[in-house]
Homo-oligomer: A and B are copies of this chain.
Amino acid sequence: MNGYRIAVIPGDGIGGEVVPAGIEALEATAGRFGLRLEFTDFGFASAGYWQRHGTMLPADWEATLRGFDAIFFGAVGWPEVVPDHISLWGSLLQFRRTFDQYVNLRPCRLMPGVRGPLAGREPGDIDFLVVRENTEGEYSSVGGRIFEGTERETVLQETVMTRIGVDRVLKYAFEQAERRPGRHLTSATKSNGIAISMPYWDERFAAMSERFPDVRVDRFHIDALAAQFVLHPDWFDVVVASNLFGDILSDLGPACTGTLGIAPSANINPDRLHPSLFEPVHGSAPDIAGQGIANPIGQIWCGSMMLDHLGHPEAAAHLLGAIEDVLAYGPGGAPLTPDLHGTGTTVELGRAVAERV
């Protein structure tokens, strides 16, 4: 029961550089906690694959990946070769929908040794989790244009929410809040402006909260919530949001903690009917790819989230602790990469974390 098969997809750019560092740290952690992780590499979901085959994925990708316990993903996107809307919708967004990864999880945490943009905040002050709906809502291709090319031209874009889709992500968010000491869940809404879908979201949130009497709840309109992420990030514990609002908050949150370059994200199918996918937020970073200086912390942190998802919260916490210990050496201390004002390489920083484990 402690053996897992992990599909590894490095993807593009620095993906291929940070993924090995992530694996090294995972293997060290697995060794310590008696877990067996078996990694299998795949070259698809990359610009290189697209150049050779004209598609991002092989025809049998779904059958190929379905047998794995998780997907450890680097980054996709190489605009010089393939336009982003093709590479993203042809891989990542495809995975989310096909594998029904209906939760997108992003921890926002002020880390030791990382300079954030907010004045006067210390590690420990900010530590919250954004739970984003990941399959429906505002991200839809339903709609169209009428009276094209005339003065009357009108465009309709549908937002689609379903009871099943809304309830399951809310339930997941309440469960996460229940697990944490704060037991506090904030819902992002805009029911004062968006008159149909957002009042529905609020209703389902209120209904679900009755099933979780231990969780303290509140609600912010998305405009005020974005402002409070900057002004009072310490107010939040778990924040649940629709696909679009979650997308915004889960970039804004790590921006506030200065961790956009090292933040992880998890695309989760909580029912475990399909594999979940773990991917750093930073993307393929064409500007520094090939230099061996990309920061591998985001990828390693993804590894920690993956261990948690596989049912090993202690191993996950241990790996996260190792990351924090290494970051805490601060500039000049540990072999931090240039983005953290150090002179270390990807390999050196990754190894430092693995050794710390």
Contact = CB atoms under 8 A, between A and B. Distances in A.
B88 A192 contact: yes
Copies of chain A in the complex: 2
B163 A153 contact: yes
A118 B196 CA distance: 36
Interface string A239-274: 000011001101110111000100000000000000
B193 A138 contact: yes
A79 to B, nearest CB: 11
A288 interface: no
Interface stretch (A9-17, A36-44, A219-227, A302-310): A219-227
Contact of A197 (B120, B155, B231, B243): B155
A286 to B, nearest CB: 15
Nearest to A93: B193
Q: Tell me the dominant secondary structure on chain A's binding face.
A: mixed
Interface residues of A, number: 60
B155 A156 contact: no
A340 to B, nearest CB: 15
Contacts of A159: 143, 156-159
A200 interface: yes
Interface string A100-143: 00000000000000001111100000000000000000111111
Contacts of A141: 195-196
A180 interface: no
Given A117-B119, A119-B119, A248-B222, A196 B156 contact: yes
Contacts of A230: 117-118, 230, 252, 255-256
Interface stretch (A25-33, A144-152, A289-297): A144-152
B252 A227 contact: yes
* Shortest Cβ-Cβ A-B pairs, 6 listed: A157-B197, A227-B255, A153-B163, A223-B251, A143-B196, A141-B195
